[in-house]
Structures are given as structure tokens and as C-alpha cells.
Structure 1
Amino acid sequence: MHNGPSLRERKKAATRAALAAAAVRLTRERGVEAATAEAIAAQAGVSARTFHNYFASREDAIVHHLETLVDTLLDTLEDMPRELDPMAALRQLLLGAASTRQHELADLVGALHLVEAHPTVASCNQALLTRTMDRAVRIIADRAGINGDTHIYPRLALGVASAAFNSAAEVWVRGSPSGRTLTDLVDEAFTRIADGMTAPGTDQNPRSQEPPWPPTSTA
């Protein structure tokens, strides 16, 4: 009877994850050139030789971190109740992640920014992007009962959900002036989409709590 990964395999997976997370963190904090194999290994508490046993480059480590986070989200999406329509499932997925896995989501945003900002990371990420998008399209198409190869809906739904989350995460990472949580912001983003993207100040959305802009003087 198979009892899952051995202790050795679990330790190797943990080391790989720690190195990948350290690569993302160092690159975000100090820049891509500072994220050497030695610096990444030191952050993870291992030797540079150990780093090279797991990854050929820092770009590989960053992409691995992104791949792990995205695959976990897609696994969860695939297992969600079948009665949820695709947009409801995506909303519930991202609200749940925002509530319980904020630090991982912040890392995901950071990794995506690195992919966009650095051509060497982007080139390593291309195969991952293609694979994960294909899988996500299949999941959404299956839930909607349509052909994902010929119907625009799966890619449109994923693009809208991604924009909703990214917009919320950007505000959250910068620090929401009204103290809203990431969950609040993701929920508002999906609510605004469902309401037809009415401009702030012209809607009656009780979730919208943005301070006025420009700020009024209190002097």
C-alpha cells in the first residue's frame, strides 16, 4: 500500500520550496542581480551547491515558485462544487485564498511582477504560462459545459477574474487607506464587475469605501 511521499522526498520538496521562495523574496527586495545562488542559498539556510542541485538558475527558481502557487489554486478550483458557475467558482476560490493565504498571494503577485519586469525570467516562464492557461481553460470549459478550444468564454472569465484579483492585490500591497483587507478588496472587485463596472461616486455599492480624491484639507 502506497503511503505517500517518503520523509526524504518531503524534505527535498521543502528545500526546493524554500529556495524558490527565497529567490522571489531576494529579487523583489534587492533586485535581480543581487539574487545570486549564494545569496538565495543563504536565505534558505543551505549551501550554494545545494541550490544548484535543485535549480539551474535563479530564473528557474522563481518560475518554480510561481508554478507551485498556480497549480495549488487550479487544484482547488477543479475540486470546487459543480453547482457553482465558473465566475462564482473563481470568486469563491480567490476570496478563500485571500482570506487564508495572503502571504502566498503576495508572493504570487511579486513573482508575476518579476516575470513582467525581467526578460530572462519571462523566457523561462513561457512554457509554464502556456501549460497553466491550457489547464485553467479546460477546468472552466468543463464547468461551463462548452468547448474551450472554440469558445471565448473560458479565457474571458479567467482574464476578468485575474484582473479583479490583480487590481485588489495592488491596492492591498500598497496599503488600503481605509484599512480594508485583501478579502474585502477582492470581494469589491468581483461585485463591481457583476454590477457592470459603474464608476465610483455614481453607484450605490455599500462595499465601496474609498476615501475621496483628492483628499480634502482638514486645516
Structure 2
Amino acid sequence: MTETGLRERKKLDTRRALAAATLRLAGEHGLSAITVEQIASEAGVSYRTFFNHFSGKEEALLRPDGADDDRFGTLLDQQDAALPPLAAARAALHADLAVVEAEREDWQLRLTVIAADQELLPRLVELGAANERRMAQALARRTGLDAERDLYPQLLAAVLGCAVRVALSRWHGPAARGPLAALLDEALDAVAAGLPAPR
């Protein structure tokens, strides 16, 4: 491995250690009760090093892998061009959420910490809105529409964002059953069917 590769690997390892320390401490004490100094100490790095990787403890909890601003767009672009937009978006989300499923224990704890801290709500809303804007832009590229003027990409992005939130909520809930992808499929199938009334 080159020197640059080793440096990048070390940065990634440090970021992961900080994210893991944040989650561990927040799970034990609540996010509002811990400090950046405690997180850095738990991860074995300096206070200053923390801010080389995260803007604050909220980001370390909510975005442990960092800001991959167009991950959905990249995954969407990899789908078969013949797929209709909803089917392509579903496949892209499956690939994206597979990471969450693979780290189920950590994500279950993260969702528990988030649910217990109302102060995180504004940041969650901000991140959700930003994600939906990027999803709309990716869907607009795929469909040849305008993300700002046309209804379809904005509406589909909002529906997808809502379906993911509902799936995550049910996956994390006390009666959670099955993998996250199956819960997402259930939500998207209901949308695709026109949200028929329950029997």
C-alpha cells in the first residue's frame, strides 16, 4: 500500500473509532450528557483530532461514515437503464440499506439514542430535507426532468424518503420483524398499489 493509501486508511480508522466511541457513550449516557473531550479520550485521540473528522458529536452520531452527498445517485446510476424509476430507486435503496442491515446492532442502538433525544430533531429534519433534494436531482437526471420545476422527481424523492423513515421505524420498533429491505419493500409496494385501504 502506498504512503497516501496508508494515510487515508489511518484517517478512516480514526473516524470509525470516533463514531464508535460516540455511539457507545451516547448509548450509555445519552448524547446530551457527553462531551467531545470524552469521545476523543474514549477513542484514544486528541480533542483537536475529533474536529478533523466531525463538526460535532451530533454529526458523529448521525453521519458516522461521513458526508457521501450523492451515494443514492451513484447507486441509482448503476441500475439497469431499462428499469422504471421506482424500480431503479428501490434497487438503489436496497444496496444503500444493506450497510445498515449489516451493522444492525449499531444502528438499532443509534436509533434508540436518536429517539431519546428531542434536541436532535432539527438536525434530522435538515439532513432528511437535504437527502431528498439530492434524491430528486438523481431521479431528475435519470428521467430527463428538471429537479426544480418538475413534480415527478420531487414527489418520488419525498415518497422514497418517507418509505425509508417508516421502514426504519418499524425495523427499530418493539414488534420489529424481518430484514430492513423487506420492510422497505412492503412500504413501496403499498405506494405502488395506490395505498389501498386496509381490509
Equivalences for residues 64-75 of structure 1 within 5 A? 64-65=63-64, 67-68=66-67, 71-75=70-74
Deviates more, 1:32-41 or 1:47-56: 47-56
CA shift at 1:174, angstroms?
1.5
Q: Which amino acid aligns with 1:6?
A: G
1:48 alignment counterpart? 47
- Which consecutive residues of structure 2, in runs of 5 or more, have no partner in the other structure? none
In 2, the alpha carbon distance for the partners of 1:183 and 1:26 equals 29
CA shift at 1:142, angstroms?
1.1
Calculate percent identity across the aligned residue pairs: 32
2:197 alignment counterpart? 199
In 2, the alpha carbon distance for the partners of 1:140 and 1:112 equals 32
Work out whether residues 38 and 48 of structure 1, in 8 Å CA contact, stay in contact via their aligned partners in 2: yes
1:211 alignment counterpart? none
Among 173, 179, 182, the alignment partner of 2:180 is 182
Corresponding position: 1:122 with 2:120: no
Q: Which amino acid aligns with 1:46?
A: V
Equivalences for residues 22-61 of structure 1 within 5 A? 22-24=21-23, 26-27=25-26, 29-61=28-60
Corresponding position: 1:96 with 2:92: no
TM-score (norm 2): 0.75
In 2, the alpha carbon distance for the partners of 1:141 and 1:112 equals 34
Work out whether residues 77 and 89 of structure 1, in 8 Å CA contact, stay in contact via their aligned partners in 2: yes
- Which consecutive residues of structure 1, in runs of 5 or more, have no partner in the other structure? 203-219
Work out whether residues 164 and 190 of structure 1, in 8 Å CA contact, stay in contact via their aligned partners in 2: yes
TM-score (norm 1): 0.69
CA shift at 1:52, angstroms?
4.0
In 2 relative to 1, CA 76–21 (structure 1 residues): closer, same or farther, beyond 3 Å?
A: farther
Q: Which amino acid aligns with 1:32?
A: L
Question: Is the radius of gyration larger for structure 1 or structure 2?
Answer: 1
Task: Figure out how many residues of one structure are paired with residues of the other and give that number.
Answer: 195
Q: Which amino acid aligns with 1:79?
A: Q
